[in-house]
Structure 1
Amino acid sequence: MQGRPQRDVRVKIGGDVHGPVVAGDGNVTHLNTSTPVPSAAPEPVRPADLRAAYRTVVTTDVQKSSCRNNVGQRHLRRALAECVLAGTAALGVPQDFFDMSDRGDGLTVVMPEAVTVVDVLDTFVEAVAKALREHNQAASDAYRIDLRAAVHVGYVDRVGGQWSGTPLVHAARLVDAAELKHALGEDGGACLALVVSDAVKHVVDEGYCRTGPTGYRHAAVVVKETSCDGWWRLL
């Protein structure tokens, strides 16, 4: 008995079913052959782990941030991020190269390898201070930002995209120095109090930076387990 001839039938149905199936009477039916198979989403690219990476780190903290209500806190964080981004933009390095972490009332920035201490003091800090002054001129007293910033340098590690190391801890202690808080609070014309570590001060002492050693004042820093020297100036 002669079988019936097969006919090639193409049917489009809902869903994501694809491929040939055998329909009644031996007909070969192709489902959704015109619909492209979606490709899998690419895996996010994670930064490679680094050990003993020599970096300049900056830690910032907003003076009296706890006095703000929720609206003030949101405004503070948004304005601070804009000012810090103005500083990184002034360095002329793509933003993707900077690693920033939120401290709640401040930001910590691990600078790219190509950014030196001199770059941070002469360009980044000055640009952040300029952005802060512009913000404060346009803001009411309730939204004014007075910022403390600490700069240190040393070997840090990045594991799983997160930075750690004693330089980050040391910068966090410097930025909490009581003398720094007092100096910024007493000077109504300054918007940023900068404190640097001994390691950074050595670079200043060598004459590489626009503001030389006479522009800094000494502070004995005693915060938690840390007891060290700091060097500060107001901008």
Structure 2
Amino acid sequence: MQGRPVGDVSVKIGGNAHGPVAAGVGHVIRVNDAERDAAVGTESGRRPDLLAAHRVVVTTDVQRSSSRNNVGQRRMRRALEECVHAGAAALGVVEDSFEVVDRGDGVQVVMPEAVTPVDVLDTFVEAVAKALREHNAAASDGYRIDLRAAVHVGYVDRVSGEWSGTPLVHAARLADAPEVKRALEEDGDACLALVVSDAVKRVVDEGYCRIGPAGYRHVAVLVKGDLG
């Protein structure tokens, strides 16, 4: 992450994600390059399509979001946008390279090509957690945000402005896993539960990240479509 330009980061919520279902196992933690992109077409005002782009993806879901009324939903979305903005700013990415997709009760982030899993765990997640803690400290109980986040890495495609690929669905399934919801529910002090895929866990196990394997609570996560 040396030498990356730093500037104002605009996080825009909107869009949809599509992709087939994939399965996997993850691990829970409480948080207190040559790219192989292929440009296959460009239109005015739209980014070129990308095939087999190797990216880190992050999916988030707000715990108990359905219990909020319309006012609560609006405040939740604004607060979440600010937290994601804080994470992007901490990474120091250029404004138009940080791509966020609205998931209703959360967001999906496709990281810029230069951002590694280490950057995401050590910088992005920590900044989001810090922003969450600050929000919760100032908010009433009814507007507190407890967030589940999953980090995965793999090959994704962007066609006609839409991201797709099994890593996106895999991360979404991990963030929505009952075991992750329960881990966050049972710890009243935690504001964020992070689940990492096996691919990202290997990076942690190699000792690249500030929080090593001992800092994780190991939980078997069975997600939709898991045949094992």
Q: TM-score, normalised by structure 1?
A: 0.77
- Aligned partner of 1:88 in structure 2 is 88
Q: Which amino acid aligns with 1:58?
A: V
- Aligned partner of 2:186 in structure 1 is 186
| Offset of residue 226 of structure 1 | 3.0
Greater radius of gyration (CA): 1
Q: How many residues align?
A: 186
- Aligned partner of 1:64 in structure 2 is 64
Identify which range, 182-191 or 117-126, moves more after superposition: 182-191
Q: Secondary structure at the match of 1:195?
A: strand
Distance across 2 between alignment mates of 1:198 and 1:204: 10
Q: Which amino acid aligns with 1:216?
A: Y
Distance across 2 between alignment mates of 1:220 and 1:227: 14
- Aligned partner of 1:128 in structure 2 is 128
Q: Secondary structure at the match of 1:57?
A: strand
Q: Which amino acid aligns with 1:102?
A: D
Counterparts in 2 of 1:44 and 1:180: CA distance versus 1, 3 Å: same
- Aligned partner of 1:8 in structure 2 is none
Q: Secondary structure at the match of 1:224?
A: coil
Distance across 2 between alignment mates of 1:226 and 1:61: 21
- Aligned partner of 1:175 in structure 2 is 175
Matches within 5 A, 1:158-173: 158-173=158-173
8 Å contact 1:148–1:175 — kept in the other structure?
yes
| Offset of residue 219 of structure 1 | 2.0
Gaps of 5+ in 1: 1-42, 229-235
Distance across 1 between alignment mates of 2:72 and 2:226: 32
| Offset of residue 215 of structure 1 | 0.9
The C-alpha deviation readout for 1:142-176, integer Å capped at 9, x for no partner, is 00000000000000000011100000010011001
Q: TM-score, normalised by structure 2?
A: 0.79
- Aligned partner of 2:5 in structure 1 is none
Q: Secondary structure at the match of 1:218?
A: coil
- Aligned partner of 1:76 in structure 2 is 76
Alpha carbon RMSD of aligned pairs, Å?
A: 1.2
Q: Which has the higher contact order (CA 8 A, sep 6+)?
A: 2
Distance across 1 between alignment mates of 2:140 and 2:94: 33
| Offset of residue 124 of structure 1 | 0.1
8 Å contact 1:132–1:145 — kept in the other structure?
yes
8 Å contact 1:89–1:95 — kept in the other structure?
no
Distance across 2 between alignment mates of 1:211 and 1:224: 28
Distance across 2 between alignment mates of 1:49 and 1:123: 28
Matches within 5 A, 1:1-235: 45-226=45-226
| Offset of residue 227 of structure 1 | 5.6
More strand as a share of residues: 1
Distance across 1 between alignment mates of 2:171 and 2:187: 23
Distance across 2 between alignment mates of 1:147 and 1:227: 27
Identity %: 77
